[in-house]
Each structure stands twice: as structure tokens, then as C-alpha cells.
Structure 1
Amino acid sequence: MPTDSAQQQPEQSPHYGKIIVSLIVVIVIAIAIIAWLWTQNQSNSESAPSAPVPVATEVQEPEVKIEPAPEPTPIETVELEPEPEPTPSEPVVESIEQPLPAMAESNAEILAELEQAEQSIAPLNSEQLIRDGVVFVDNLRRGLVIRDKALVEGPKNRFRVLEQDSKLYIDPRSYDRYNTLVDWFVSLDNQIVVQLFERYQPLLSEALAEIGYPDADPKEVLNEAFEMVLATPNVGTVIELSDETVMYKFADEQLEALPDAQKQMLRMGPDNIRRVKLKIEALQLELNKAL
């Protein structure tokens, strides 16, 4: 029989023992699983070598010699001439030629055309410009001066002379009488004058036929008159006169032998002669361009 001093062992229940056994089993299983996984990992590491960690290094690229591109083989081309661009056709303006008036009505129309072209008509005093003009030009080409058929008004101041040492000379102030007329003549537009001449040629031919020249060319008649004026000699300012008759004559026999038309030019003075000749040469040039 045990003594009282001996300690009594507590009595363990059977349920507690089962729990302990279960924990041990779980721990053993866990250790087994971990061991198995570790061995699998080792075998995989040995069979597959680990990839080296890439290290950034500077790569030296090899020199590449660039060959020049071969020249392309020229391709034969056929040049096509471009078609000429159509030039814009200018609108055709039909110039409506005004019918010529009858001879009797031509004076008013000529004066109107001159005014429309801004040409002065102040010196003109003829009521039959076509007929009187043809008669004047015909006389002029023959060296004559017919005052009653003049187209323009003559100078109003009287002809003046100077007396020196019992000799008579043309007073140079007399030359100034023609300045206004010469100024008007040289101011006329050459082209307009020739255009009017061209336009009225049929009436000019009619007027020439009336005075006995049915086959005369108005241009030839006018050119002959121009040549007569251009043939006037160039003399100085001092011209001696003779008063043996009622009319003054040139003391120089060569001057007195000149046609009346040229002697009339001499009375205009050297400066006016020069200006008239230059104007006639310009008109002649313009007229002959239209031939």
C-alpha cells in the first residue's frame, strides 16, 4: 500500500493522446513534403545550367565599306514635243469704214475729223479743202503760187525792207510775219495728216481729174510738190532787193530766176525755211511708208 508521501500521477484521458499522435503525424508528413520539394529543386538546378546575367558591353561594329550605288542605266526616252498652246485669239474688230462724203459735203467732215483728232484748224479758210488743196499742190509742184487758191490765210503785216548805202534789203522783221503759220504747220501730227490723205484719196483723184489729170496719182503729185519746196536754196538772212519795177525783185539774178514757189519760201526767212523743210521731210517719210 503506497505511502501518503508519494505523489499520485494525474490520470491522462485517452482523447488527449489521440491529439498528440495526430500532430506528430502531420509534422512528419510536412517534413516529408518539404524534403521532397527540396530534392526536386536541386535536380532541376543541376540539369539546367543557370543563364548568365547579361552584362552590358560596348560592341565594336565592324567597318562596313559603302560601295557607291551603280549609276542607273540611262533609259532611252523619246522627247515628245509639246503641242503649241493655243494663242488666245484676239477679238476681231471689224473696222467700219465710214463712207466718204460727196465732194460738196467733204469740207465739214474733214474739219470735224481734224478737230476730233485735236488738230488746229484755225488758219484754214477754204470752203473747198479738197479742190483748193489739189489746185494749190498742183501749182506748187510746178513752182507757181496762186494766192486766190491758198488753203490758209497769209500774213497780215506788210512786207518790210531796209535801205542801207542806197541798197534795199529784206527787213529781217518781215520774216516774223510767217512765224504763226509755220508754227501751225509743224504742229500737225504727221500720222493723222497722212491718214486723212489716204482716206480721201478717191476725192483727191476726182479733183485732179477735174483740173485735167484723170490718171494722176495723188501721192506722186504731193511728193513732187514736196520736192519743189525742199529744193529751195539756203541763203543768209541778208537778201538784197531791186525796186526797178512795181514789185520788189531779188538783186541776185540766180535767186530771181528761181520758181515763184521757192522765191516765196525765201521771203519767210532762213529759220522758217529750215523748219518747213524738216516738217516736209517727216511728212514725206510717213507718206512713203504707206505706199
Structure 2
Amino acid sequence: MSENSEQRSWLPYAIVGGVIVVVLLVVLLWPSSAPEPQPVTEPVTPAVAQPEPIEPEPTDTFEATPPPEPVEIDPDQEIEPMPEPVAEPEPLDISDTAIKTALEAIATSPTLSRLLVNDGLLQRFVVSTTNLANNEMAPNHRLLTPPDQDFRVYTQANREWIDSASYKRYTPYVDALESMSNEDLIELYSTYEEEIQAKYAEIGDPDQPFSEVLIEAIDTLLDTPEVKMPVEVYTDSVMYKYADDRLENLSAPQKQLLRTGPDNMRRIKAKLRELRDSLMAQ
């Protein structure tokens, strides 16, 4: 029933009620004194309006939908099997244990596990690489443990020279690096590249691919000059410095690479060139 129909149906009852209220008011409140009584006449009951008939609202009619025609199946027709549900890929494990295990898996050198640090491997890699690209060192974010042996020098003709034993401290690190193939290293890098890029975006230019930063870091080390043996140093009571100003003015990463010795440095550079070429080819 619509709102207008509802109002029309209740209207007659409201009129009747109103008439009754008026009659009561007239009987009770009208003055009773009059000069002479008037002849009593039968009260005329006002006509009460009859409610208008309510027309039923049209109802919607629906036509019955005929049942679908039966589908005949050809017995010779091959029915394609339902496709197998595609399993969701498991999230990448970026824990230090997983990354270290992956590195150990591609290295044939058994010493790698001992040389690697145990925590923050991806973060350390990103920070160290970024600092190398900026010709700086990040000693608090090193990926490898320091050598067990101390830096050694010897004195000759009142001058100090780097002892070749100091270079041999780094040979196990170079052996571990060479034990990993470039293909495996690039594949491992590609596996974690998205996470590496996300970490770099927190400290560097988020629009710059981290691969460019990695290549810049490699170029920094490749620019380290070759030096003749032996290498003279001196101490300023705090640390050893190169006596040759040309060497002492090199960047901190380049001076660190010099400390690995000429043979280790040649091996490291050869590996870095191969990795750089692989990165550039991607």
C-alpha cells in the first residue's frame, strides 16, 4: 500500500473523531442560561464521509522459464580434464641462514663458512657496496671476518716495508672468491636483487638500479694501480701509511686492496672484471 492510499484510508476515521470532540465541547462548555427555552429539535447527525474503496495495487507477473533443453554428449568426444591448480610460490627466504647456505652451496672452498659473518648479510652487502662506489669504507658493515694474523712489517736501512706474510693473510679470502663461478654468483644476485634494491632505496637513490652501484664499486677497485715490491710504509704512532704519496692519496678501498698484495690483487681484479662483464651483459 502506498503512502497516499494509507492517508486516504485513515482520513474518514479522523473526521468522525473530530466531530465527536466538537460535540462534547459544545455540550460541556456552552452557557446553560437562556431567556426562554427553545424548542428541542432532533440533532442532525452530520454525514460521515465513506472511505473510498482501495484499489489493489497491480502485482508483477512472471512468466515461467521453460526448462533447458537436454544436452546430448557425443560419446566419441574427448572431455578436457580440469586444469591443475597452480601452487602459489613460496616467499623468498631472506634470512642470514638461507643466504649463507646459498653462498656455501656454490663455493667449493670449505673456508667460506668461516670467513663470512653470520648476521645482516644483505644489509652489509648493500652498505659496503654503496660505500665502495663512493670511495669509502664501511668497517662496521664488513661481510667478512678480519684475518687472524696481524699486519707485519720489517725494517731495512732504517726504513719500514710491508712483510710478504701480511699479504698471505688474504689468500684464503681470494681462494673462496675464486671457488664460486660467475654464473652462480650472478644467479644468486638475481635471486635476491629485488630485496637488495629495496634495501638500497632506504639509503640511496630509490630510482637508481643497484646494479649500477655495484658496477661503480667494482670500477673503484679496478682503478687501483699496480705497485712494485716491496712497498714502503711508515707509522705516525697511530697507523701505518704509505710512504709514496701517490699510494697514500688513493681512496680507502683502493688502499685496502693494495694491502692484499700484488698477487692477490691481480686475482681479485680478474674475478671482478668477469663479474662486471656479466653484470653489463644483463
Distance 2:105 2:134 in 1: 33
1:114 aligned partner: 103
What residue identity is the alignment partner of 2:102? Answer: E
Distance 1:153 1:248 in 2: 21
Distance 1:176 1:166 in 2: 24
Pairing 1:136–2:128 present: yes
Deviation at 1:112, TM superposition (A): 3.1
1:69 aligned partner: none
Deviation at 1:259, TM superposition (A): 0.1
Deviations 1:102-147 (A, max 9, x none): xxx4322222333444555412114111111000101111222222
Alpha-carbon distance change, 250 to 117 in structure 1, aligned in 2, over 3 angstroms: closer
Q: Secondary structure at the match of 1:226?
A: helix
Pairing 1:262–2:241 present: no
Pairing 1:248–2:240 present: yes
Alpha-carbon distance change, 115 to 160 in structure 1, aligned in 2, over 3 angstroms: closer
Deviations 1:135-171 (A, max 9, x none): 0101111222222211011211010011111111111
Pairing 1:289–2:278 present: no
Deviation at 1:187, TM superposition (A): 1.2
Residue segments in structure 1 that go unaligned for 5+ positions in a row: 1-93
From 179, 198, 201, give the equivalent of 2:171. 179
Distance 2:236 2:144 in 1: 31
Deviation at 1:194, TM superposition (A): 0.5
Distance 1:144 1:199 in 2: 27
Match runs of 1:212-231 below 5 Å:
212-231=204-223
Percent sequence identity is 37
Alpha-carbon distance change, 286 to 246 in structure 1, aligned in 2, over 3 angstroms: same
Distance 1:172 1:255 in 2: 18
Counterpart contact for 2:107–2:180, Cα < 8 Å: no
| TM, length-normalised to structure 1 | 0.62
Match runs of 1:82-231 below 5 Å:
98-101=90-93, 105-117=94-106, 121-122=112-113, 123-231=115-223
Distance 1:98 1:198 in 2: 17
Q: For this pair of structures, how many residues does the alignment match?
A: 194
Residue segments in structure 2 that go unaligned for 5+ positions in a row: 1-85
Over the residues paired in the alignment, what is the CA RMSD in angstroms? Answer: 2.1
Deviations 1:219-276 (A, max 9, x none): 1010001000100100012111122341111111111000010011111110000000
Counterpart contact for 2:234–2:242, Cα < 8 Å: yes
What residue identity is the alignment partner of 1:173? Answer: A
Distance 1:273 1:202 in 2: 31
Counterpart contact for 1:172–1:237, Cα < 8 Å: no
Counterpart contact for 2:186–2:278, Cα < 8 Å: yes
Distance 1:116 1:161 in 2: 37
Counterpart contact for 1:107–1:129, Cα < 8 Å: yes
Deviation at 1:175, TM superposition (A): 0.6
Q: Secondary structure at the match of 2:95?
A: helix
Counterpart contact for 1:242–1:249, Cα < 8 Å: yes
Deviation at 1:98, TM superposition (A): 4.9
| TM, length-normalised to structure 2 | 0.64
Q: Secondary structure at the match of 2:91?
A: coil
Alpha-carbon distance change, 202 to 262 in structure 1, aligned in 2, over 3 angstroms: same
Deviation at 1:96, TM superposition (A): 8.7
